[in-house]
Each structure stands twice: as structure tokens, then as C-alpha cells.
Amino acid sequence: MTRPHTVRAHTLHAAGIELSALLALPHTTPPRSTILAIHGRGMRAAYWNSFIPLATAAGHAVLAVDRPGYGASAAHLPDGQTLAEQAETLHAALKEHARTHDTGAGFHLLGHSDGGKVALHTAATAGALPLLGLDTSGTGYQYDPQALHFPSTLGGGATKLNWGPLNLYPRGTFQASRTLLAPTPPREAAETIHWPRQFETLAPDVRIPVRLTFAEHEAWWHLDDTTLTAMTSRLTRAPSVTVDHLPAAGHNISLGHTADTYHQRALAFLDTCLTPATPAHRTPQHD
């Protein structure tokens, strides 16, 4: 059983931009670390609701942010920001947050889908704050052919890509998830097709441990060994790179039946990032 935690609406100030967020604090003081949880395209910070109790029970603070162009910043940024601009905004927000909150050992990046892309941009961008590790789900390298037309994640035939078989999710998930949805800002959407080239540029500048998780029924990405090896081999400066495959899961992992399994593995990875004795390795692990 997880221990009680406190979670509240929170505002992040980032170089003149106000970002809405959820801040969850553990009962341990100070927190072991602060996890920056970054939602995917067309979602909101509450995507991480099922992760928060497990993380706080393990002694971590969780800062689940509405990315620039979503939530409170949507009116100020009606066209949104590019992924690189979002990373710069998040760096500014984290710097301000660290000024007023104890962040423990530092910030750990946890991103889903397009939020994973922003997390990669954030990890590859120089900042004044320590970053512990980078953990993404549903963020690949080369798109699967069926995703080449990049339908909107809120419609346009993307249901199969985003969810996979519907029995992977608890009853009521799709009704409840309506409250998580938000329009995708156009500047963000316009970058989708450029992601493979962006990743190739970013990957060599990531200098923290990396974990990549892909659902069994992930449909957005090529997941063959050749493509995944090409992806991990570009992370040349990351001390470690791990690839995890999650059975019985669809793209929106944190909303499915296997969410707890994924979240526990994510927290176990964070534990390794907090352990100085963990040996560095360059061999990706395919589970």
C-alpha cells in the first residue's frame, strides 16, 4: 500500500511564461529527487495521476507540467512552441522552482511520446541544474509507415496508433481521459515529420543515463532490432542506455492495466541514477 501524499495545482514561472502544473510532495523531507513528468501530444499533466502515488511513496517529489502551449500558457502561446523552445522554457521553470523548493538530489526527466521528445531536448540542452536521468515511453526514432500521415492525436484515425487494443485499458478509461485532452499547438504539430533528424542531432549531447520503454502494441514507431540499435548507438555520451519492452500495453502506457508495472520499473531506474556506484555501460539492454 502506498503512503499518503499531497498533490496540488501549482504554477511555474519561466522567463515571463506561466505554466500550470501538478506538484506532489512526499512526506519525507527533503525529497530524494524531483521528477519532472512531461505529458505527450494532446494531453495534460494529469496523464501522470496514477504515477504520482507510487513516486511519492518512494520518497520523490513529482512536478507534472502542462507543457508550453497547454493549460495556463495556451492563451499566451496560442501557436505553442517548438520542441527546442519548450526545453528552454522548462529549463527556466526548473531553475525558478529550485530557487523556492528543495529538489533533493536533482531533477529526473520522465516523458511520454512527444513529451519524451521534449525531455530529450531538455537533456541535450545545457542548463544550470543537475539532471539525474532520462526516462521516456512511446518515443522512438523512425516512424512506422502507418504513422507517416501523422493524423491528429485527437482524431483523424489515430485511435489505433494511440491506444492499441482497447482491452489493454480499464473500463471507463476513454470516458475519463476526455478531461486529459487538449488541442495540439500548431508549431509543435508542424515539427512531427522532422523528429528523426532532430533526434540524430540531439542524441550525442545527452550525458545522463537513458531508459527507453516501448509498449507491445506500440504502433507509431519502427521497433525492429536494427532501428532500435541505430537509435541507442547515437546516444554516444549517455553513461548507460536501456531499452525495455512492456507486454500487454499500448502507446498510452500510464493509462493502461500495466501502468503500475511500468511505473515501478521507472522508479527502479531512477534508483540506479541515484546510486553513484552504478557502473556505466554502453550495451543497450533489450528486455
Q: What does the block give as the cell for 137? A: 515511453
pLDDT at residue 140 tops 90? yes
Q: Model confidence at 119, in pLDDT bands (50, 70, 90)? A: very high
pLDDT of residue 31: 96
Query: What string of DSSP letters covers 218-233?
Result: --SB--SHHHHHHHHH
Domain encompassing residue 85: 6-276
How many C-beta atoms surround the C-beta of residue 281 within 10 A?
12
Crossing angle between the packed helical segments 114-124 and 195-202, to the nearest 10 degrees:
30
Chain centre distance of CA 228: 18
What is the average per-residue pLDDT within 36-49? 96
Q: Is 230 within the bounds of a domain? A: yes
**Residue whose C-alpha is closest to residue 46's, from 182, 151, 169, 158:** 182
Residue-wise pLDDT for 185-198, tens only, equals 999 989 988 999 99
Q: What does the block give as the cell for 179? A: 478531461
Question: Tell me, what CATH number does 149's domain have?
Answer: 3.40.50.1820
Q: Write down the pTM of the prediction.
A: 0.91
Q: Is 285 within the bounds of a domain? A: no
Q: Is 100 within the bounds of a domain? A: yes
Residue-wise pLDDT for 251-268, tens only, equals 999 999 999 999 999 999
Lowest mean pLDDT among 13-22, 199-208, 265-274, 277-286: 277-286
Averaged pLDDT score across all residues of the chain: 90
Q: Is 286 within the bounds of a domain? A: no
pLDDT of residue 282: 40
Residue-wise pLDDT for 225-247, tens only, equals 999 999 999 999 999 999 999 99
Q: What is the DSSP letter of 31?
A: -
Q: What residue type is assigned to position 174 of the chain?
A: F
pLDDT of residue 127: 80
- Domain count across the chain: 1
Could you list the beta-strand ranges (E) of 82-219: 107-112, 131-137, 210-215
Residue-wise pLDDT for 78-102, tens only, equals 999 999 999 999 999 999 999 999 9
Contact predicate 117/200, CB 8 Å: no
Q: Is 161 within the bounds of a domain? A: yes
**Residue whose C-alpha is closest to residue 110's, from 58, 152, 74:** 58
Q: What residue type is assigned to position 37 of the chain?
A: A
Q: Is 287 within the bounds of a domain? A: no
Q: Is 284 within the bounds of a domain? A: no
Q: Is 281 within the bounds of a domain? A: no
CA pair distance 239, 209, nearest whole angstrom: 5
Q: Model confidence at 174, in pLDDT bands (50, 70, 90)? A: confident
pLDDT of residue 156: 55
